[in-house]
Amino acid sequence: MMSAGNDNEGVLRTVSGALLIAGTTSDAGKSVLVAGLCRWLAREGVRTAPFKAQNMSNNSVVTRDGGEIGRAQALQAAACGLEPSVRFNPVLLKPGGDRSSQVVVLGRAVGEVSALSYRARKAELMATVLSTLDGLRAEYEAVVCEGAGSPAEINLRANDIANMGLARAADLPVLVVGDIDRGGVFAHLFGTLALLDPADQALVAGFVVNKFRGDPALLAPGLDQLRALTGRPVLGVLPWREELWLDAEDSLSYTADGVIGRPAPPHGDQWLRVAVVRLPRVSNATDVEALACEPGVSVRFVTEPSRLADADLVVVPGSKATVEDLKWLRANGLADAIARHDGPVLGICGGFQMLGRSIEDTVESRAGRVDGLGLLDVDIRFEPDKTLRRPRGEALGEPVTGYEIHHGRVTRATGDGLVTLPDGTPEGVLSGRVAGTHWHGLLENDAFRREFLRWAAGHAGRDGFAPAPDTDFAGRRAAQLDLLGDLVADHLDTDAVRALLERGAPPGFRVVPPAGAPTIG
């Protein structure tokens, strides 16, 4: 049916092109396919960069030059062997509610927009997107672009800068990926193509099926029929691999029961149970994934009070809308449940702010002074300028790194500093069984994480829990990227991918009706 393109003849080394990976839905597999393609190309010796014109996510990281981009693009950069750069994600939308988002352009917040007011800015942002992409194409041999959501959102097509609007403006060949695990993948792939107008359809060069479980022979007739219906090949069927759970785009990507990762048996004779509050506007939920990599640590997202009853450690993660999410905690009883919890509690960024005595916010919610949960003797004031930095320090006696993304500033605090900067300045608070910090990524430091788990187990009365001595979080992430590269090499028609990067979408594809949305009225 297709060649996997695994031989070493004609290894791609002189590519000068770009490719767009679009998806039938959000979470269809765009981010991981882009990461896999980046890893495969980099291993083939091709200078490769990722690109996502516009991302909508509260899961972000800080670049070396102090900008902010989507976490998925930082992972894709790592797949290429590159440091994260604001050029890899020139427009980032950070939702603060159902109808408004903060706009980050080339790493810097430039204001708030509603869904309607954002349309007026699209032309200006498209110019930024295209000039950034042109710069990357001049510098790298291959640029692998990721779309956003679905390219067939016909209500948004006129102002699109992330999917077919970008593909048309930059003449990018497009592959559409669909998630077969959701069901209905053939309808998703066919329908996505059919809703595009003829000029958009001309750039769609093939399909990829993601998360397949079962006998490929049973799937083959459907692939053949899809090609007969559309005139376009399926360039690969990527199998389901349960190891691929790190760095999820959002917290809804985890398992149905809220469990994060695949918990391994304990190193000691007791488990440590971690409950992570899934806030409505949670940001950087991936902070807790490092805990889920530890043997004997069961990490679960929770949304109601009863799930805290048997938890050893409670984590309140970051939030893009701290005051609103604090209000939600109180409305559904989680605030009281956290206050009554007699074991350890960790607050990260917005969660740290919620654990304090007070929050003065005239920036984000404009609510003025609001009482916090009072578990830490800390006062917070929001400032218009966002803190973006990648500090180093020491925590629990171990060297640590992390990154900060927040408007809130500590104006008063008592208790020990959780982290100490090189100049001796304390960061965060450690007070009895409660800890808080503005630092994201702190738990990714292996030696610190082991000390933190000992601290948490001690306060939880889990004397039989013992942290494993050799968990390597960075190694786990690198292994996942290698696995993605292997999946691309083994299950994708890499010769066809090479051809798309070298020559673009081939001419003469069939137009599939209805070929765009009908005019109404």
Which helix (H) or strand (E) covers residue 395, if one does? strand 392-395
Structure tokens, 206: 């093939």
Q: Which residues pair with 237 in a beta bridge?
A: 209
What are 71's two structure tokens?
A: 């976490």
Close Cβ partners of 144 (under 8 Å, ≥ 6 residues apart): 18, 19, 21, 34, 37, 38, 41, 48, 49, 50, 51, 76
Is the CB of residue 96 less than 8 Å from the CB of residue 281?
yes
Q: 130: which 2 tokens?
A: 């295209």
The three-class DSSP label of residue 308 is: helix
Tokens read off for 48: 């490769």
Q: Are 430 and 415 in contact (CB under 8 A)?
A: yes
- 440 catalytic? Reply is yes
Catalytic residue among 438, 440, 459, 491: 440
8 A C-beta contact, residue 235 and residue 21: no
Helix, strand, coil percentages (3-state) for the chain, rounded to 5, are: 35, 25, 40
Whole-angstrom distance, CA of residue 271 vs CA of residue 297: 6
- Tell me phi and psi for residue 508, to 5 degrees: 90, 15
The whole-angstrom separation of Cα 162 and Cα 189 is: 18
Beta strand 272-277 with 54-56: parallel, antiparallel or unpaired?
unpaired
Total Cβ atoms within 10 A of residue 16: 12
CB atoms within 10 A of CB 108: 14
Distance CA 261, CA 253 (A): 11
Cα–Cα distance, 427 to 211 (Å, whole number):
42
Is 293 assigned a catalytic role? Answer: no
Instruction: Give the alpha-carbon dihedral of 349, 354, 357, 362, to 10 degrees.
Output: 80
Under DSSP, is residue 224 helix (H, G, I), strand (E, B) or coil?
A: helix
Q: How many Å apart are CA 216 and CA 207, to the nearest integer? A: 16
Instruction: Pick the catalytic residue from 80, 145, 293, 349.
Output: 349
Please identify every residue annotated as catalytic: 349, 440
